[in-house]
Amino acid sequence: MSVEHEARTGEGTPDVDCIWAVTESKAGTLTQCLGVAKELNPVPLVKTISRTRGIRKWFEPPLFRRKEQEPAVLVSCGFRSEPPVLDIKAAYGGRPLAVHLQKPRIEGYDLVFVSRHDWVPEMDARPNYHPMVGVPHQITPARLNVLRDDARTRFAGDGRRVVAVFVGGSNGAYLYDDKTHERISEAVKHLESESWRVLVSVSRRSDEETLRALLTLRSPNIDVWNRSGENPYLHYMAAADGFLIAKDSITMPCEALATGKPVYSLDLTQLPGPRLEKFEFYHRDLAENLGLTKPFGGKMEPYDYQPLNETRRIGSVIRSALKTSS
């Protein structure tokens, strides 16, 4: 296996001396691995699996070298990371604790964390398998608090309530068609009429048609990121008093739920099939079973819930496993 890049991130004092995040290059898998890894060591070493093919692959450096400092923990996500993680574990005599953040396709992991919407009954009998709500991430209240004063001055200098609206793109469960665009537009305009300052952000999956539809909503009280300059996502989160999030995302609701602010979900045009069933289970679980989110019906009101911090909880489980194995 080869490496696209290695990077050290974070700062502070580690409680695990050396931890590797072994991940695909996809932003979604990388942020999950880094979120968990930073709970154990704020400066994890990132090992990114290359997807290079053909002759160029032979000219890339190896993913790891045996002479490197032995990692105490390997955190991975994504099926492409599974074989190299187990190769690394074997190269160091099986000592590193191997942790995977989704159901692996191959055996050999010491700890596995599977989202509740992917959990199946046979996992109940596996003591090294643990359910998690949604997915881990890197958003923390402390990270947003540093930005809040500046974000409020920038987006709500008049003290108006702020709602962050996050949208994505078609994903096999939901379709961003004209009906969906109309539903988003109606929700945004309604919130504006309710005296909210509305901050709208697209994601990497949003297509140009969606962006064009959103840009037509711009007004003195509606800010829409046009993809130019730095992504204001974190500043939108820091400024927000509440969130409205399209249902095509798993990660964004989890990130918003770390704030303790109200999180509402917005219905989209559905594409029937197993993928839709999984997403709908996820949203029902958050709203009905866990009481964390609410479906958007036109009103956005405060409600109480315990902020979600699965990233920290997963870190605690890993620490306990390390103590047991030492």
The pLDDT assigned to 12 comes to 45
pLDDT at residue 9, rounded to an integer: 39
Interval 21-45: pLDDT, tens: 999 888 889 999 999 999 999 999 9
Q: Domains in the chain, start-ordered, CATH in brackets?
A: 19-136+312-325 (3.40.50), 141-295 (3.40.50.2000)
CA–CA separation, 200 vs 177, rounded Å?
18
Binning pLDDT at 50, 70 and 90, where does residue 7 land? very low
Check: CB of residue 300 under 8 Å from CB of residue 163: yes
pTM of the model: 0.90
For position 61, what pLDDT does the model report?
Answer: 76
- Per-residue pLDDT at 11 exceeds 50: no
pLDDT tens for 131-150 read 999 999 999 999 999 999 99
pLDDT value for 157 = 85
Distance CA 202, CA 7 (A): 27
Q: How far apart are CA 289 and CA 285, in angstroms?
A: 5
Percent of the chain scoring above 70 in pLDDT: 92
CA distances from 223 to 62, 191, 194, 202, 313 (A): 45, 13, 16, 12, 35
| CA 304 to the chain's CA centroid | 22
How many angstroms separate the Cα of 265 from the Cα of each of 1, 61, 233?
40, 44, 17
Kindly report, residue by residue over 74-105, the tens digit of the pLDDT.
999 999 999 999 999 999 999 999 999 999 99
HSE-CB for 187 with a 13 A CA cutoff: 29
Q: 96, 181, 78, 211: which is closest to 87 by C-alpha?
A: 96
